[in-house]
Amino acid sequence: MLIVKTISGNIHNNTIKEKIEKAEINGNLQKLFLSRIELEKLHTRKITNDGLEVGLSFESGIKLHDGDILDVGSVLILVKQTPEKIIRVRFKNGDFSSNLSVLVGHVIGNRHRPISTFNDGSIAFPIHDDSELELFHKLFQDTNKHLILNIEETIFVPNETMNVHEH
């Protein structure tokens, strides 16, 4: 088992792309698929897509992100976040008045869900099961005429300022 204690960079950084391309051509690039929750763990043991056992052991404050590169000598490991189900809340006709936004935030916050906000005014949060769509329709019953709720499966990245513990 390989022990990894540092992150070498991220695929979205242009300076490391050439190194990744070489590793892929040489067959030295492996992928490690992790859930959003697993990305936050300091210590975990996982297996890459090619069967390499990897122990992750990071210092406090270090958090993995989608696209991070772990350099373990002859092998590069690309960290890939797995998609998860979310509910995206859109405001009809751009009607995200402060009262409505506060109410939506309050309902989601009471369920201890992290959120992600978007430039179009929509809000997304992770769910565990499709049946939660019906639950949130009921929780938003007084505001349903102003909201559109949809389930999507995507890479969820909570807003950086959020420090929410999920239930």
Q: How confident is the model at residue 13 (pLDDT cuts 50, 70, 90)?
A: confident
29-74 pLDDT, tens per residue? 999 999 999 999 999 999 999 999 999 999 998 999 999 999 888 8
Percent above pLDDT 90 for the chain: 63
Per the domain annotation, does 18 fall within a domain?
Answer: yes
pTM of the entire predicted model = 0.83
| Distance (Å, whole) CA 133 – CA 136 | 5
- Cβ-based neighbour number of residue 94 at 10 Å: 9
My answer on whether 6 and 75 are in the same domain is yes
In the chain, % of residues over pLDDT 70: 92
Q: What CATH number should be reported for the domain holding residue 144?
A: 3.30.70.260
Task: Note down the domain range covering 88.
Answer: 84-154
For tokens 């406090």, name the residue: 60
- Is residue 165's pLDDT more than 90? no
Q: Are 7 and 64 contained in the same domain?
A: yes
**pLDDT tens column, 134-143:** 999 999 887 7
CATH number for the domain spanning 10: value is 2.60.260.20
| Domain shared by 125 and 140, yes or no | yes
Domain end point (choices 81, 101, 133): 81
Last residue of a domain, one of 81, 115, 140: 81
15 and 77 both lie in a single domain: yes
State how many domains the chain has: 2
**pLDDT of residue 157 exceeding 80:** yes
11 and 68 co-located in one domain: yes
Q: Domain for residue 165, yes or no?
A: no
